[in-house]
Amino acid sequence: AQKITQTQPGMFVQEKEAVTLDCTYDTSDQSYGLFWYKQPSSGEMIFLIYQGSYDEQNATEGRYSLNFQKARKSANLVISASQLGDSAMYFCAMREGLIGSARQLTFGSGTQLTVLP
């Protein structure tokens, strides 16, 4: 079974509007971390936001917020006020196990976001 599922291969959004990128995960661990990364056409992976499994509040970083619904095992990324520079591939990822363990990230298949002028 896929550990990280991103069901939207591509998304379009009008500039200045908000957009939600979906991510569901599968784990039996109680302790885990969820991440979102942005990959523009240059290839660099840019860290956007992190949510720990024990965090009670949804993470926010500027225009990015993570809609964490633990019971549904979803961790959707919300980008508010989209900008043209937000056009990129977005990856959801999960680290299973405790913080500090040398566990690797598991990535979803990604969502290509295109912001329209």
Partner 1 sequence: GAVVSQHPSWVICKSGTSVKIECRSLDFQATTMFWYRQFPKQSLMLMATSNEGSKATYEQGVEKDKFLINHASLTLSTLTVTSAHPEDSSFYICSARALQRGRQTDTQYFGPGTRLTVL
Q: Which residues bind partner 1 (CB under 8 A)?
A: 33, 35, 37, 42-47, 50, 52, 91, 95, 99-102, 104-110
3 state SS of 86: helix
Of 91, 79, 92, 109, the closest CA to residue 12 belongs to 79
- Shortest spacing between CB 105 and partner 1, in angstroms: 6
Q: Over the Cα atoms of the chain, what is R_g?
A: 14
Q: How far is the CB of 87 from partner 1 (least distance, A)?
A: 15
| CB 45 to partner 1: min, Å | 4
